[in-house]
Amino acid sequence: MNGSTYRFSMHGHTYPGPLVMLWFSARWCAPCKQMAPIIDQITGVYQHRLHIIRIDIDEQPDTAAEFGIRAVPTLVLIGREKMLSFTVGITPFSDLKNWINQYLN
């Protein structure tokens, strides 16, 4: 990313696109593994409009705590100035698209 340091928090993000989605997961989490192909599809559809960051809660417990993550998988949408929404559990592709579209439009 051109050597720039981008940041995200509950108070927004500094990435070039309008939205960031944090995907809180864990290696041992079976539902997280089920979400992987869905996230891959979302990545393809929203390639230049949504930046997706996968966060392993075991490797980054402070980040998980900051966002109040209590279960995985959890997806968090962050706009430029604040956290917008979150969803917990396996979310079907069509539902995920509808959820993201609410904040892109």
> Is the Cβ–Cβ distance between 91 and 35 less than 8 Å?
yes
Single out the catalytic residue among 26, 29, 45, 88: 29
Single out the catalytic residue among 19, 20, 22, 32: 32
44 flagged as catalytic: no
Q: What is the Cβ-side half-sphere exposure of residue 15, based on CA atoms within 13 angstroms?
A: 21
32 flagged as catalytic: yes
Which residues are annotated as catalytic?
A: 29, 32
